[in-house]
Amino acid sequence: MADASAQTASGDGSPTEKKKLKRVMGPWLLLLFIVGDVLGTGIYALTGEVAGKVGGIAWLPFLIAFLLASVTACSYLELVTKYPKAAGAALYTHKAFGIHFLTFIVAFAVMSSGITSASTASRAFAENFVESFTAGNAPFLITLIGLAFITLVAAINIRGVAESVKMNVVLTCIELSGLVIIICIGAYALSGGQGDFAKAFEFKTTDGEGLWWPVIGATTLAFFAMVGFEDSVNMAEESKNPSRIFPKVLLAGLTITGIIYLLVSITAVALVPIDEISEGSTPLLKVVEAGAPWFPVSVFGLITMCAVANSALINMLMASRLLYGMSEENVLPSILGKILPNRRTPYVAIIFTTILAACLITFVGAVPALGGTTALLLLAVFAIVNVAVLVLRKDKVDHDHFTSPAFLPYIGAISCAFFVGPWTGRDSIEYLIAGALLAAGIVLWAGTLVYMKSKGEDVSHDDMSNLKQS
């Protein structure tokens, strides 16, 4: 039987079709979306912090984070090819457990992770802008630029997914160029006798501390650099034939970014002393200065700004599509599912998520804490998704889909749950921010029930009757 998503992708111009999101993403656009999202802010900002925890083997936490992400990606692939609809993890939770409260909290956690990541990127963009083009480091000016930037992202998002994807293509190419420059500079410098490749295999120990816990702590940081692959499943309704293209594209995107992360981290520790690279928020800039002092520093600064801008754009795209998808499933108010007739973008969801991001930029402002909170929330969600894929194995759909190897979801659920715990050395502020966000989510859940009932909208508690519609 033909995949229903393929029929929708044809775009027949019917009234029903015009009420749906526009399918514009083929394999190459989806690949660039994934690569751009995963590369994002993390590799540009966290390489030094990871090296500060474990020394020269900074590549090892990135490798572990890559493997952890790949295991969970297989669970996402089984579910997105089985149910190729917007809303991602929240949709899978809804179908697996049918509990409105749990679905709402998962949706809120994923949305919050996207918004905290976008807020992180917006503040990083503002800080780079202020440092590059003004004198000093004025907090008020950083906040103002961050707010202006997130508003611009919203405007691009509202205009249309095609425009957003085109912007993503440009920013991703610039972002990739920066990392390729780092790798090429490293190869040139090391071949010329600069640096010491052997440092990439040295472990930094403190007070007789063993290898295990420092690597685990560094992996919690490195994992923030690997998140982003999960955002793509929220774009399923804007992808062409998602059940067919997602497996190869998502796994290819993760592999490309994993290789880049390993090469960049090895280059960084080989060229720059650990004590130097672990200080400050621009570790890769120090690699450029050490390996190619003739290279214009301002150019690399602009590349970094494009990288964080891309992170903000992609995460705000994801967050708005998540809310749209959940409104379609009667988990959130129908107003969040409203789309512009011509642009076919979920404008109410875009405005709502932009307001939340602006609040975080204004009142939280701690970029490291927001980044860590993003990873913490997503790890908890990943654990649930890995369980959901096991629950939904008994459900059959009328089209072919990817199937994760039987043992991987178990490994994914256990490992993700492990990395959520405080024994990994997380900063307590991350738990405080996550707790505050989830508390706000519970309040919003109660308010959502009241609002939907006052509008006469049915609240979906069990979506099993809709399973065959995918």
The residues spanned by each domain of the chain are 31-469
Specify whether the CB–CB gap between 223 and 66 falls below 8 A: no
Indicate the SS3 state at residue 2: coil
For residues 227-238, give the mean pLDDT. 82
pLDDT of residue 248: 93
Picking from 438, 376, 360, the residue whose alpha carbon sits closest to that of residue 119 is: 360
Q: What is the pLDDT of residues 12-48, one digit of tens each?
A: 444 444 456 777 788 888 898 888 888 866 676 678 8
Using an 8 Å Cβ cutoff, are 57 and 275 in contact? no
pLDDT tens readout for residues 302-331:
887 888 888 888 889 888 888 888 888 788
Neighbours of 394 (CB within 10 A): 6
Work out the average pLDDT over 457-470: 50
Is residue 141 over pLDDT 60? yes
Percent of the chain with pLDDT strictly greater than 90 = 22
Residue 98 near residue 388 (C-beta atoms within 8 A): no
Looking at residue 4, its pLDDT comes to 40
Closest CA to 287 of 193, 199, 181: 181
Q: With 90 as the cut, is the pLDDT of residue 414 above it?
A: yes
Report, as an integer, the average pLDDT of 123-138.
Answer: 74
Three-class DSSP category at 55? strand
| pLDDT > 70 fraction of the chain, expressed in percent and rounded | 87
pLDDT confidence bin for 78, thresholds 50/70/90: very high
Q: Tell me: the pLDDT tens digits for 370-402? A: 667 777 888 999 999 999 999 999 888 888 899
Predicted confidence at residue 2, as pLDDT, reads 37
pLDDT at 209: 65
Q: What is the end-to-end Cα distance of the chain in Å, rounded?
A: 12
- Distance, in Å, from the CA atom of 323 to the CA atom of 103, rounded to the nearest integer, reads 12
Instruction: Inform me whether the pLDDT recorded for 367 exceeds 70.
Output: no
Name the more confident of 360 and 445: 445
Could you say which architecture CATH assigns to the domain 31-469? Up-down Bundle (1.20)
Judged against a pLDDT cut of 70, whether residue 470 lies above it is answered with: no
Q: Are 331 and 107 in contact (CB under 8 A)?
A: yes
What pLDDT does 403 receive?
Answer: 92
